[in-house]
Structure 1
Amino acid sequence: MYRLSDFTCITFGALCIASALPFVGIPVPTRSWAIYYADKNRWLSKLSGERLTPKQAGYASALLRLAVGSCCIYPPTRIPALLVNGAVVCRGTVVAYRDGRPMRPQWTMLGAVGLCLLTEIL
């Protein structure tokens, strides 16, 4: 029998996997998402001290999303994946706020991680 946490974590995991596509330039679900993520990749490249190109930053971010998404779907690795993702997103939220970046994506991701953790522990 499925629990609420299964539904929320599998949904979150699938959305994480799907959200890897705009990081690599695939305009899913709309072209504006690809534009937003291309800008985010440039910003991440700048944060890396230009050690990563925007394309490399996009692929690294996409790989992180794929890993987190896959781990959220697989029950034994859910909580560690959510905690690691939450730590990354918390740090990213602080840096995004400092740099005047859009905050809605940050709050949405933090809320989704929180919801998944909450349903997992209840």
Structure 2
Amino acid sequence: MHPFSDFVSITFGGLCIASSLPFIGIPFPSRAWATYYADKNRWLSQLSGGRLTPKQAGYASALLRVGVGSCCIYQPTRVAALLVNGAVVSRGTMVAYRDGRPMRPQWTMLGAISFCLLLELL
């Protein structure tokens, strides 16, 4: 089970790193993703009470994704990264629900984090 867990967590980490690109305006893998994340950056900026511009919110989110992704790839920090990411995404899910935001991305991310954690525990 350990090699499968490594494969899944490394893949998740790589996807986290790749998913940082739309946060900074790079249309990867499609323009629709960049549009979705531009809207999310505006929303995150509003949540910050105006302390962050949408661009700053996007860069902060991208840095978080790259950090989490890197820590998921590196086995000794994997569980801690998944737990921290799970806490951030759980809080974001509650706020997204409250604000009527799309929930599918939230549930997908929570499911992926849970799956990786489950495999680490087996």
TM range (shorter): over 0.9
User: Could you tell me how far 1:4 is from its partner in structure 2?
Assistant: 1.2
| Structure 2 unpaired stretches of 5+ | none
Q: Report the TM-score when normalising by structure 2.
A: 0.98
Partner of 1:38: 38
Q: Alpha carbon RMSD of aligned pairs, Å? A: 1.0
SS in 2 for 1:101: coil
* 1:10-55 residue CA offsets vs partner (Å, 9 max, x unmatched): 0000000000000000000000000000000000000000100000
In the aligned structure 2, how far is the partner of 1:86 from the partner of 1:39?
Answer: 22
Q: Report the TM-score when normalising by structure 1.
A: 0.98
Partner of 2:87: 87
Counting aligned pairs with the same residue, the percent is: 79
| Structure 1 unpaired stretches of 5+ | none
User: Could you tell me how far 1:60 is from its partner in structure 2?
Assistant: 0.0
* 1:99-119 residue CA offsets vs partner (Å, 9 max, x unmatched): 000000000000000000000
SS in 1 for 2:21: helix
SS in 2 for 1:34: helix
Misfit runs of 4+, over 3 Å: none
Partner of 1:7: 7
SS in 2 for 1:28: coil
In the aligned structure 1, how far is the partner of 2:64 from the partner of 2:76?
Answer: 18
